[in-house]
Structure 1
Amino acid sequence: MADVDALFTEFKAKGARIRQAPTNFSWGMREMNIEDPDGHRLRMGAATNEPSDGVPLCED
C-alpha cells in the first residue's frame, strides 16, 4: 500500500469502521486497522522512515 493516509480518507468517507487511524510504529511501518462488516479486522500499511508515534497497536 503506497499511501495509507489516502486509503484511510477513502474508507472513512464511505463509513468504514476505523479501529486505528494511520499510525507510525517502531517496526518501520505506517499502518491503519479497520473492521469489515463480518467483524474481520484488516491491517494495511506502508514502510516509513518516520519516528514511531508511540501508540500501541489496537488489538482489542
Structure 2
Amino acid sequence: MNACILTTADQPHCTRTGVVEVVDLSGQRAWGCPTHAIRALRTVEGARIVRDLRKEGEQR
C-alpha cells in the first residue's frame, strides 16, 4: 500500500495509508490519506484527484 506523503514540513509524519492520488499543474503526483488529499486540493494550485482507491472496484 501507499503511504501518505502529503504532509508539510511543519506537520508530523502521517501514518495513515495513502488512498488518494493527487496531481498538480507540473504533473507531480503524490499519494495521500483523505484528510491530507483534501488539504492539497485546497492549497495547491491546479491540484486534482487522478485516482481514488476507495472507489476502485465499485460496481454501478
State TM-score, norm by structure 2: 0.29
Tell me the TM-score normalised to structure 1 length. Answer: 0.29
Going by fraction, where is strand more abundant, 1 or 2?
A: 1
